[in-house]
Chains A and B, each alone.
Chain A
Amino acid sequence: DVKVTQSSRYLVKRTGEKVFLECVQDMDHENMFWYRQDPGLGLRLIYFSYDVKMKEKGDIPEGYSVSREKKERFSLILESASTNQTSMYLCASRTPTGGQPQHFGDGTRLSIL
């Protein structure tokens, strides 16, 4: 079974802080993704990565950056956290072959005070 592990289940930070969310997958997947999930809005793609050291903006990249130094690890960085970044953050990975599904971690619920 694919295992996608997000380092924190719950996180509370203050506005203006730099926040790091970590994600590790154990299936040697090339593609990795960061989403945020908000009630009524569903999952929205923040950033994704085709492979190591590669990154592409998703639909809502403003205020975020990412890092992919190793194939198994994809980090999401909130450069200067704001209250509107309070959300559930989900990491996913997949093999790039055809229409293969994405496999998700259990999420990090981030609160910015």
Chain B
Amino acid sequence: QKEVEQDPGPLSVPEGAIVSLNCTYSNSAFQYFMWYRQYSRKGPELLMYTYSSGNKEDGRFTAQVDKSSKYISLFIRDSQPSDSATYLCANGMFSGGYNKLIFGAGTRLAVHP
């Protein structure tokens, strides 16, 4: 079992839809949680990060963490074609003296006009 799992998609939605991207993990030692967005032929860029269970909002994006069920979500409101990208969840912990980050394989999102 992979430590961090994501549905690869692709997920195709119409412009304006609410998008829900999900991630599950198996290791309860993870202490912080990040979402990266990766456009085609580009490197991942940080979208959001949080250290605790609950919701964190930033504009049209909301990250939700449920540590009890080891479940992480990213919600995108009023989705735009410019949101079309691959979304990677990344979980972090302090291990062996450094901050270890484990990535999911990513979910590909397509928002069509």
Chain A interface, DSSP helix/strand/loop, else mixed: loop
- Contact between B8 and A40, CB atoms less than 8 A apart: yes
Q: B residues engaging A (CB < 8 A)?
A: 4, 8, 31-32, 34, 36, 41-46, 49, 51, 88, 92, 98-99, 101, 103-106
Q: Is the CB of B98 within 8 A of A90?
A: no
Residues of chain A with a CB closer than 8 A to B98's CB: 31, 48, 50, 56, 96
Are the C-beta atoms of A41 and B105 separated by less than 8 Å?
yes
With contact pairs A96-B99, A102-B101 given, residues A43 and B92 touching in the complex (Cβ less than 8 Å): no
Task: Tell me which of A12-20, A62-70, A76-84, A104-112 binds B.
Answer: A104-112
Q: A40 contacts which chain B residues (CB < 8 A)?
A: 8, 105
Please determine whether B104 and A100 come into contact, CB atoms closer than 8 angstroms. no
Compute how far the CA of A42 lies from the CA of B8 in the bound complex, rounded to whole angstroms.
10
Please indicate the chain B residues that have their CB under 8 angstroms from the CB of A105 in the complex.
43
> Chain A nearest CB: distance from B30 CB in Å?
10
